[in-house]
Structure 1
Amino acid sequence: MKMIKMTSRILIMMILLVTAITAQDTRRSADFRGAVQGRVLDNATGNEIGYANVVVHNLPDSSLVDGAMSDENGFFYIPNIPAGRYYVSAKFIGFYEVLSSEFRLTPQNATVTLEDIRLKRAAIQMSEVEVVGDRPVIEFKADKRVINADQFAASLSGTAVEILENVPSIDVDVEGTVTLRGSSNFIVMIDGHPSIFEGSDALDQIPATLIQTIEIITNPSARYDPDGTTGIINIVTKKQKITGVSGQLSVNAGNGDKYGANAALSMRYDKFTWNNSLSWNDFQSGGQRTTDKTTTINDTAFSVLGDGRGEMHRKTYSYRTSLDWRPTDKFLISAQFNIGHYERSRTSNQMFEEYPVYSIYRSLDDNTRAGDYWGTGLEFTKKFDKESHDLSGSVSYRSRIGSEFNETTRRDENESITDRTKNTEDSNDSDWRLKLDYKNMASETRGFEAGIQSRISMDEEGTGTYGWDTTASQYVYYPQYSHQNDYEHVIHSLYAIYKRELGPFQWQWGARGEYTYRNMHLNTQDTTYLIDRWDVFPSLHVSLPLSENNQVMASYTRRIDRPRNWYLEPYATQRDAYSVFQGNPGLEPEYINAWEASWQLSKKKNYIAADIYHRTTENKVERVQSVIDKETLLFTFANVGKDYSTGAELSLNVIPYSFWNIFLSGNLYRYRVEGSFNGRSFDNSSNNWGVKFNNTFFVGTDTRIQFDTNYHGPSVTSQSEREGFWIASAAVKYDIGKKWTAALQVRDVFGTGRHEFTTTGPNFINATAFERESPIAILSLTYRFNNYKNGKNRPENGEGMNGDEDDLFLF
């Protein structure tokens, strides 16, 4: 209760602060400032002209008022212009200067959108050379990599997972599990806000057509939550920048019952912007699964061979909306709301043979997770008169109600039920988050950031276990295996960052302190497990520009990965006829120390980037297996020791011809784990590597053809070995006029996406393989109106997570 009272006081203080700032800024609004925006185009081709020089002139004396450069998509925005009459001039190398028509700025007409300014080519031109104006696949920033989603044909179908298949540092296996530098423990954010879901489940909820960019942050600063082993994946959704109403509608369909649709609508006016998106996805896939398990009891080997089919069905729909209000040009209030439903089911139908006493049986497994979620939030940002001096705050609430159903049926060769189990789980999770951030660049060479945050989570979970009574042909409830749990998790954080420039050398040092209070109450056993502690997470980032397009950087961060609730529950739960799961309430969180150094060299859209990194994990958590009897394995989690990852990445983007873009990346790292469990050494190591090769061909200005191939080398954990595999995909994308786009994508063209791994332990070896149906073909069609484009019309600085790149005031 003390935590909740403290949080309530913080919320009241934030509301009073927002009210005071709003009142202050409203008084200042009498000093009117307007804005003008528009696009610069090539009159001959209609293509956008990036980096054109745009100047606002006074009428009638033509004196210069202000100016800006158009961004890479031809869009320009010039704010802070007093009331009056003006015109705009635009020019670019190789083109004649063009003047716009006259316009007037008044409090009633504060933002003027000009008609497209079309520049005519100068007399000297090379008509036989066609330049295609596309952004690079990946842009390297000081603290992150920015993936331009519209450069992938996958951006017109599927989800964020399909785009990430071709991104450095990311691996996606045949079942859609995403790993970042070998780990699935990363944080997913949407427009800078933590997702309700985790890892691959979160990325599966986001339609690719609604994504503008994806930001990969492997070493986040102290400003961000320290959770996650390998960093943050932030999804930046599309938002229209032109005043008025605009939107898009996309539909897609594929073989094997794969369907999807989504729509986006944006309404933008002088002081208000309303963004909406609606999505629906129904995706089915299947494949062949084999199992070869051997256990040894008292020097006798028992073998089980399985062969059959597995099916996966994913269904989601969601609605997201946000409303931005700008009472003045230095203050913004934003409200967000999202609601949705998710459902994911897996079924398996396998025939098994047992040895040494031969018998045959069939196993039917059915697992379904489903639920509803919603979230809402309120934010404000106040920019002061000095550049890079602002105050921001937010409060958000998220809720998820879900259920899980798991059933395993075992039948003999006469199809009679010999064994059947059923497990159910119901959960009700809620989460509050409050934060306040302050930034002040005191001078051009030094600055300071600080902030405070509270996270409060309340979770309720109930499980039920049932066994089959073959005599009565009905389920019997097992109360001894059924439980009720309550979780309270509170984290209070305080961080500070100091930035400094010494000539060309830039560095920033930060530290984040976190107080954690976790109360896990097992109602069935009337037992409580309590955590009450402080942690400190330092970070250091340095950079040195060697020239305008040549830069080296280095960073260090300390992070934490906290065990999920179900990792901790100490109950033995029969998951199926052959496996039992039991959590471990004594699990300690993982602590990660990560070092990274990077070098980037670019020339126009050609670039090369190299990274070397080293990561150590203390209290390494592994999913471990052990033998219960000749058929049954026990699955649990344990802190097995320490692991180390040391590697290098190389990315290369080359445009050998105007119609051909080559993107090549490779990752090589040494993985080593040291530790023990139940008195047995878990030491293991492997050399891991992967290569991604992306070719994009431009046919005229309307057609794009892509061919991608990815190889994932073999890897190990403390108990498992995974075989290498490769996947090739192809796609063609065609623009039909200015409003329609069609695309055909074929994934796993050659059917090589086979996933094999072998787990070994005391007295057992378990080898499994899954081969997905292939190829997968998806056809998509997208309609846009009023220039709602794939990630275009964004401001020059982008729309990133960092406050100094936030474009909320570039309207």
Structure 2
Amino acid sequence: MIPRFKQIVLIFLFLFATNIYPENNNKKNDHVIHGYIIDAESKHPISYANVLLFSSETKKQTSGIATNDDGYFELNGIGPGVYFMEIHFIGYKIKQVEDIEITEENDLFDMGEIIIQPDLLSTDNIEVLGQRSPITYQIDKKIINVDEQITATSGTAVEILENVPSVTVDIEGNVSLRGSSNFTVLIDGRPTILEANDILQQISAASIDNIEIITNPSAKFNPEGTTGIINLVMKKNKQLGFHGLVEGNGGYRNRYGGQAILNYKSGKYQLTMDAGYGQRARYGDEREENITTQENVSSFRNSEGTSDREGDRFRVRGELGIQLSPADFLSFGGNFQDRERRRIANINFSEWTDLAPEKINTASNTFRSRGGDEYSVYASYDHKFNESGHLIRAEAQYESGDSKESTNTELLDNNFAIVNGIKTTEDGPDEEFQAKLDYTLPLNKDTKFEAGYQNELDLSDELTGYSTYNPTSGRYELHDEFSNHVKSQRNEHALYSLFASKIGQLGYQFGFRAEYTDRKIELVETTNTFTLNRWDYFPSIHSSYKFANGHQVMASYTRRIDRPRGWYLEPFETWFDAFNVRVGNPDIIPEYIDSYEAGYQAALGKTVLSTEFYYRINHNKIERLRSVYDETVTLHTTENVGTDYSSGTELMVNFDPVKDWNVNLLGNLYNYRIEGAIFEEAFSRESFNWNVRFNNRFKLWESAQLQLNMNYNSASVSSQSEREGFFYTHLALKQEFFNKTLSATLQIRDMFGTANYEHTSKGTDFYTYRLYEREFPEITLNVRYFINRQQNKKDRNRGGGDGEDFNGGEEF
């Protein structure tokens, strides 16, 4: 598999490299054209924009290059003559600059700042749609423009990610990045104590400006997570004055919410306030078939019934930025959120064994709740030594959360009397402190050195409880032998450095990161402790080659880590319902990941092509394993089972088939293989996985658009299980009123009820099949009102912008 993959990559790059050089220019070339490419909305420089130079006389391309990280370009070897320039970048309109006259006298032609506008999906003499491209591809990351995902307007970050390449979302809202659920979620570049999937399901789409997906980050970033980083960039207004939005949404069956975002900016101060509440519910039916074998006797348990999920969240966020001087900027802020997710299941069971074939019918009621409150405060300070990029940045953050989880399962006989009841609880506070110091020193216009220090301290104090129902007393009684008190501490220190430069058109960056981990887990009742002290090292290499006509290729390597934490390390039994018990393993070691990527980006007329190849090796693969604990009870444990391999490609095509119809076709195809040993028995499993996003936007009339998204995710395997493929279709209609001050969006999700979850797990002594069919369709109406939007437009037009009102958060 590895040689074949490498051959495909080399052949692909060779074919493009041998066909994209422009015609040679025989004139004496000793002049230079240079400048900067700037985003019209944020005023930030645009990295990797393609700058193409054409002869005004022959209309043939004579030179080209891609901008560097600072948006800077320099075209060398230009002969005297008259030229015109085109700037291409995915998600932006093509910018053309005419009448660039190079004479013998002007050796250096300074273009200054060239402002480019967001893509309005327009052609000559066609009225524009007035929207940004839904996904912008840069050479090192993808940027999802949230406001363009109108099928997710009333949802959370999870609903947005359903329409994104690299990402798979199952019907229960669990997110995977390139086939793995082990990734890092940041908010404006800062980590959070919440689990990745929890935070994605809690933050409203209305609060997010864009989402950055970085699959191969450099040594500057925390290497935690198998497949990279998902960074949520929150909305912050960049225009002077007071602006904001207020929205409300509602649907049938406990689906409603509201959001308000207010911004004020003066010459020195910038204030953002954001508050919102949302309640979501998902109803469905489930069916299970279970077979367990113990001492050559098989036990059977079939079940079916309703399984409903509900949740609510409240979140408030605030941030104040102060421009202390032209060289100094201070910002600080915080957020608070209270959340709860619930599962209510009413299931009918039928049980029998080989020795007792007569079926015993029972029923169960299960109520599971998970939630708590969490708050954080943070501050950052930036000092610029000069305007060439020499700067230092310091950040600090404190976060605290109080998590509460409880599950109550009751088995009922035919008379609805409780014959068995189990109640489990898991409570405890978590605290996290982070500090970071980053220093950047440009050595010349193409070379810079970066270095920094990062510290993260995590503290956890967890109490677990286990109680059973006593039919005689009619009460639940606590069992101390299954109740535990665990304290854990993890302290990580990291140092990193980066060196970036270029030789001709070859840009390169070398990075190295060293991390020291000090971890301690204490079982309070037994006084047993488990400690870990270890150094880990993480190199990174990034390179790109820019051809003369703006085409470029990229290659990178990074080493990453996925550290076990939480219950994965707890060496005691914890029951989470009547049929499942888990035991952690303090001896499991971290996963180490070698990640390779190669990318190609080109401007082909008005179309920009972007594709990526990736290959990932995951050593010491950690898997949740299942086995038989007792008759109808399943034991869940964690082990390092072996090594897995993923290799694949991502493709994107964006085009307009006809006037007012835009198609965004996204695909991710990869081969997955895992091999190793489970309970000392060798295994090897493999699957070819693929997912396709077929997203369509139609302009119906001046103030209305329709969006139709169709997604398919293929079947996939793990060490003990297999998930079947699933397909879903979402539709949204957006109508704007009063010169775009008010908008209404009607969303219909899973129109045809095809987003079902079908899963099979099996081992030497068990078999489980599960089917979950959720209620469909989900219909929601969202109404959004913009405050001072017209004034915002005037300010933006004076500045040459043409985008949406809100622009992204801190640079990341």
- TM-score (structure 2 length as normaliser): 0.83
Q: Which residue is equivalent to 1:219?
A: 216
Q: Which residue is equivalent to 1:236?
A: 233
The alignment partner of 1:247 has SS state of strand
Please list, as runs of the form range in 1=range in 2, the aligned pairs for 1:205-604 lying within 5 A after superposition: 205-355=202-352, 356-602=357-603
- What amino acid does structure 2 have at the position aligned with 1:745? Q
**Cα distance, 1:212 vs structure 2:** 1.2
Equivalent pair of 1:180/1:230 in contact (CA under 8 Å): yes
Q: Which residue is equivalent to 1:771?
A: 773
Show CA shifts across 1:177-224 (max 9, x none). 111001111111111111332222111121111211110000011111
Please list, as runs of the form range in 1=range in 2, the aligned pairs for 1:691-770 lying within 5 A after superposition: 691-737=692-738, 738-770=740-772
Q: Which residue is equivalent to 1:609?
A: 610
Equivalent pair of 1:240/1:793 in contact (CA under 8 Å): no
Taking a change above 3 Å as real, the CA distance of residues 551 and 346 of structure 1, as seen in their structure-2 partners, is same
Equivalent pair of 2:561/2:593 in contact (CA under 8 Å): yes
CA distance in 2 between counterparts of 1:601 and 1:172 reads: 30
**Cα distance, 1:300 vs structure 2:** 2.8
Q: Does 1:165 align with 2:210?
A: no
**Cα distance, 1:392 vs structure 2:** 0.3
The alignment partner of 1:204 has SS state of helix
CA distance in 2 between counterparts of 1:162 and 1:724 reads: 18
Taking a change above 3 Å as real, the CA distance of residues 214 and 643 of structure 1, as seen in their structure-2 partners, is same
- What amino acid does structure 1 have at the position aligned with 2:204? P
Taking a change above 3 Å as real, the CA distance of residues 674 and 715 of structure 1, as seen in their structure-2 partners, is same
**Cα distance, 1:434 vs structure 2:** 0.8
Equivalent pair of 2:132/2:803 in contact (CA under 8 Å): no
- What amino acid does structure 2 have at the position aligned with 1:364? N
Equivalent pair of 1:339/1:373 in contact (CA under 8 Å): yes
**Cα distance, 1:574 vs structure 2:** 2.2
Q: Which residue is equivalent to 2:181?
A: 184
Equivalent pair of 1:247/1:785 in contact (CA under 8 Å): yes
Equivalent pair of 2:294/2:765 in contact (CA under 8 Å): yes
Equivalent pair of 1:278/1:319 in contact (CA under 8 Å): yes
Q: CA RMSD in A?
A: 2.6
Equivalent pair of 1:520/1:529 in contact (CA under 8 Å): yes
Taking a change above 3 Å as real, the CA distance of residues 167 and 271 of structure 1, as seen in their structure-2 partners, is same
CA distance in 1 between counterparts of 2:324 and 2:111 reads: 23
CA distance in 2 between counterparts of 1:665 and 1:765 reads: 36
Please list, as runs of the form range in 1=range in 2, the aligned pairs for 1:651-670 lying within 5 A after superposition: 651-670=652-671
CA distance in 2 between counterparts of 1:715 and 1:520 reads: 35
- What amino acid does structure 2 have at the position aligned with 1:276? M
Taking a change above 3 Å as real, the CA distance of residues 331 and 74 of structure 1, as seen in their structure-2 partners, is farther
Q: Which residue is equivalent to 1:146?
A: 143
**Cα distance, 1:387 vs structure 2:** 1.3
CA distance in 2 between counterparts of 1:343 and 1:687 reads: 37
The alignment partner of 2:283 has SS state of strand
CA distance in 1 between counterparts of 2:807 and 2:246 reads: 24
**Cα distance, 1:382 vs structure 2:** 0.8
Taking a change above 3 Å as real, the CA distance of residues 659 and 508 of structure 1, as seen in their structure-2 partners, is same
Please list, as runs of the form range in 1=range in 2, the aligned pairs for 1:108-127 lying within 5 A after superposition: none
CA distance in 1 between counterparts of 2:804 and 2:159 reads: 26
CA distance in 2 between counterparts of 1:563 and 1:613 reads: 25
CA distance in 1 between counterparts of 2:625 and 2:160 reads: 32
**Cα distance, 1:69 vs structure 2:** 4.7
**Cα distance, 1:139 vs structure 2:** 1.2
Moved more, 342-351 or 148-157: 148-157
CA distance in 1 between counterparts of 2:229 and 2:431 reads: 22
**Cα distance, 1:52 vs structure 2:** 10
Show CA shifts across 1:249-275 (max 9, x none). 011111221011111000100101001
Equivalent pair of 1:674/1:684 in contact (CA under 8 Å): yes
Equivalent pair of 2:247/2:260 in contact (CA under 8 Å): yes
- What amino acid does structure 1 have at the position aligned with 2:237? Q
Taking a change above 3 Å as real, the CA distance of residues 784 and 67 of structure 1, as seen in their structure-2 partners, is farther
- What amino acid does structure 1 have at the position aligned with 2:714? G
**Cα distance, 1:658 vs structure 2:** 3.7
Equivalent pair of 1:155/1:209 in contact (CA under 8 Å): no
**Cα distance, 1:537 vs structure 2:** 0.6
Show CA shifts across 1:721-742 (max 9, x none). 1111100111111111231011
Taking a change above 3 Å as real, the CA distance of residues 500 and 50 of structure 1, as seen in their structure-2 partners, is closer
- What amino acid does structure 1 have at the position aligned with 2:484? H
Taking a change above 3 Å as real, the CA distance of residues 52 and 266 of structure 1, as seen in their structure-2 partners, is farther
Taking a change above 3 Å as real, the CA distance of residues 312 and 181 of structure 1, as seen in their structure-2 partners, is same
Equivalent pair of 1:51/1:74 in contact (CA under 8 Å): no
Equivalent pair of 1:49/1:70 in contact (CA under 8 Å): no
**Cα distance, 1:654 vs structure 2:** 1.1
Q: Which residue is equivalent to 2:81?
A: none
State which of 787, 790, 794 in structure 1 corresponds to 2:789: 787
Show CA shifts across 1:337-357 (max 9, x none). 111101111121110111223
- What amino acid does structure 2 have at the position aligned with 1:449? E
Q: Which residue is equivalent to 1:28?
A: none
**Cα distance, 1:629 vs structure 2:** 2.1
CA distance in 2 between counterparts of 1:604 and 1:265 reads: 41
State which of 128, 132, 153 in structure 2 corresponds to 1:135: 132
Equivalent pair of 2:42/2:238 in contact (CA under 8 Å): no
The alignment partner of 1:443 has SS state of coil
Q: Which residue is equivalent to 2:201?
A: 204
CA distance in 2 between counterparts of 1:538 and 1:328 reads: 37
Equivalent pair of 2:260/2:274 in contact (CA under 8 Å): yes
CA distance in 2 between counterparts of 1:519 and 1:604 reads: 58
Equivalent pair of 1:663/1:695 in contact (CA under 8 Å): yes
Equivalent pair of 1:52/1:69 in contact (CA under 8 Å): no
Taking a change above 3 Å as real, the CA distance of residues 686 and 800 of structure 1, as seen in their structure-2 partners, is farther
**Cα distance, 1:149 vs structure 2:** 1.2
Equivalent pair of 1:605/1:655 in contact (CA under 8 Å): no
CA distance in 1 between counterparts of 2:399 and 2:229 reads: 20
CA distance in 2 between counterparts of 1:263 and 1:52 reads: 39
CA distance in 2 between counterparts of 1:293 and 1:734 reads: 49
- Give the 4+ runs in structure 1 shifted more than 6 A: 37-40, 48-53, 788-798
- What amino acid does structure 2 have at the position aligned with 1:432? F
- What amino acid does structure 1 have at the position aligned with 2:207? L
CA distance in 2 between counterparts of 1:530 and 1:378 reads: 32
- What amino acid does structure 2 have at the position aligned with 1:763? D
Show CA shifts across 1:432-452 (max 9, x none). 111110011210121111000
- What amino acid does structure 1 have at the position aligned with 2:330? I
Equivalent pair of 1:252/1:780 in contact (CA under 8 Å): yes
The alignment partner of 1:171 has SS state of strand
